[in-house]
Amino acid sequence: MRHELIHAWQYHEFGEADHGATFTRWTNTLDTSQHCERFTAPQWWLVCKDCGGRIPCYRRSKMVRNPEKYSCSKCGGAIRVEETNSY
């Protein structure tokens, strides 16, 4: 619950939520996990064309709608979107 409340606070304060430095600071402060178990299948996957890194997406976010405007946080590679049949 604390994990999700941090995201709610981020969205309220900054208009978007992620697992970056602000999130990490608060997970340490609130003694909660940075990762949580998936309770449902994602509707999309953001996939790095270079390193193959995968990020699950459960809503049609800015990155899902416009992947060409973003790059992989690990290697800087281009992002593509894979749609799943989970919905």
Q: Whole-prediction pTM value? A: 0.55
What kind and span of H or E run contains 27?
Answer: helix 21-29
Per-residue pLDDT, averaged over 58-62, amounts to 90
| Total count of domains within the chain | 2
Confidence (pLDDT) at 36: 66
**Per-residue confidence band for 4, with pLDDT thresholds at 50, 70 and 90:** confident
Domain with 54, as residue range(s), is 44-83
Same domain for 32 and 48, yes or no, is: no
Which tokens sit at 63? Answer: 């990155």
Q: Name beta bridge partners: 54.
A: 47
Start-to-end CA distance of the chain, whole Å, equals 24
> In this predicted model, what pLDDT tens digit does every residue of 9-55 receive, in sequence order?
998 999 888 888 888 888 888 888 777 666 788 899 999 999 999 99
Same domain for 29 and 52, yes or no, is: no
Per-residue pLDDT, averaged over 52-65, amounts to 92
Q: Name beta bridge partners: 80.
A: 47
Same domain for 4 and 30, yes or no, is: yes
Same domain for 57 and 76, yes or no, is: yes
State the burial class of residue 20 (Cβ atoms within 10 Å of its Cβ: 0-12, 13-18, 19+): exposed
Same domain for 26 and 58, yes or no, is: no
Same domain for 62 and 32, yes or no, is: no
Same domain for 32 and 49, yes or no, is: no
